[in-house]
Chains A and B, each alone.
Chain A
Amino acid sequence: MRPVTHNTKVKVVEAPVGFTGEGFFTTKLSEAIGLARSNSIWPLPFATSCCGIEFMATMAAHYDLARFGSERLSFSPRQCDLIMVMGTISKKMAPVLRQVYLQMAEPRWVMAVGACASSGGIFDTYSVLQGIDQVIPVDVYVPGCPPRPEAIIDGFMRIQDLVRAESIRRRESDQYKELLNSYGIQ
């Protein structure tokens, strides 16, 4: 039995740029909120096919996704921040995906994992939706068929960058409303 060791090399997130003094620290509100949000994203794994199995490998102990703050996978769209669409979305499934997206609360992000979710993949057929950006707006695309767990984690880190850098007024801005209107979402 090896002796119990404590992890002495704990990695701490960098504090944002700010003005500090005796007992206080000032910074922008968006930076503080971005820091908190980006390190505690709760994903909704919308796994339909083979990319879902690679996601299971990413969640397992070898390539741990929980160390990025997503320890709790939520399967309810009301409680999640990020929807990870993994696998082929067919035309029968597209209304379901749209319904799940509409049920998510702001702020919400979308990650398309795999070639089938990004653009239809190798299935250029009458029954497969050629990319989920036909029905919902997407933030990050992860290519691969299936993408390696390292690639999924890289996509996740890009989402973290987006979350950290987002302005807190973005979701009420006209640009965002125009984007949603182009998909027919009010």
Chain B
Amino acid sequence: MLSNEYIQKKLVDKFGEAVFQFSEPYGMLTFEADKENNLKVLTFLKEDPELMFTYLNDETVVHYPDAKGKELAVVYLLQNIYAGIRVRFKVYTDIQKPDVFTATSLFETANWLEREAYDFFGVNFVGHPNLIRIMNVEEMDYHPLRKEFPLEDQTRIDKDDDMFGR
């Protein structure tokens, strides 16, 4: 019977120390691995006949500006739709060299999700077929969802910042 402890046991049996930081916030098994191993873990989760996590639900990035050396976290949300179990898998990377292997060879879903992550945060997915901006205009030269950039458009001259509480 597929349960969080069983999944954790199988992962530790296969990868040993390469997967760590297991936790279960609100019932969903969450763990981390180094960014060099992300494809190995994803392939294992997808192709193992007992685990069968063949569905990539979501892939996104979180920016932690205070954690030096591990600022950008790529979060994969995988699902086994036959048993109805979800698993969250995180990979941390440095903001100076944000290279992560792409998951498009395993899941077609990851194509645009990674483009969006590149557009918003600047994570460079190695091996992606078409890594260009998807949501913002082509000429934009910064990655807007990082914490240091403001929400509002800074080129406006008609809005009075004092009145709007900024």
Contact = CB atoms under 8 A, between A and B. Distances in A.
Contact of A92 (B136, B153, B159): B136
Contacts of A91: 137
A125 interface: yes
Interface size class on chain B is 10 to 19
Interface in A116-136: 124-128, 130
A57 to B, nearest CB: 29
A128 B144 CA distance: 13
Main secondary structure of the interface of A (DSSP, over half): loop
Interface residues of A, number: 8
A124 B151 contact: yes
Nearest to B164: A124
Interface string B122-163: 000000000000011100000010000111111010010000
Contact of B156 (A92, A127, A130): A130
B137 A92 contact: yes
B82 to A, nearest CB: 37
A125 B149 CA distance: 11
Contacts of B151: 124-126
Contacts of A128: 153
B121 to A, nearest CB: 15
Contacts of B150: 126
A128 B135 CA distance: 12
A21 to B, nearest CB: 56
Nearest to B155: A126
Interface in A86-136: 91-92, 124-128, 130
A53 to B, nearest CB: 22
B91 to A, nearest CB: 28
Nearest to B138: A92
Contacts of B159: 124, 130
A125 B153 contact: yes
B137 A126 contact: no
Nearest to A130: B156
Contacts of A125: 151-153
Contact of A124 (B135, B136, B137, B152): B152
Q: Give the one of A91, A124, A126 with max B CB within 10 A.
A: A126
Nearest to A129: B153
A127 B152 contact: no
Contacts of A92: 136-137
Contacts of A126: 144, 149-154
A146 B136 CA distance: 25
Nearest to B135: A127
A130 B137 contact: no
Interface in A46-98: 91-92
B153 A130 contact: yes
A127 B142 CA distance: 13
A100 B86 CA distance: 47
Contacts of B149: 126
B47 to A, nearest CB: 39
8 contacts: A91-B137, A124-B152, A126-B150, A126-B151, A126-B152, A126-B153, A127-B136, A130-B156
In the A-B complex, the 7 residue pairs with the smallest Cβ-Cβ separation, listed nearest first, are: A126-B153, A92-B137, A124-B152, A125-B151, A126-B144, A91-B137, A127-B136
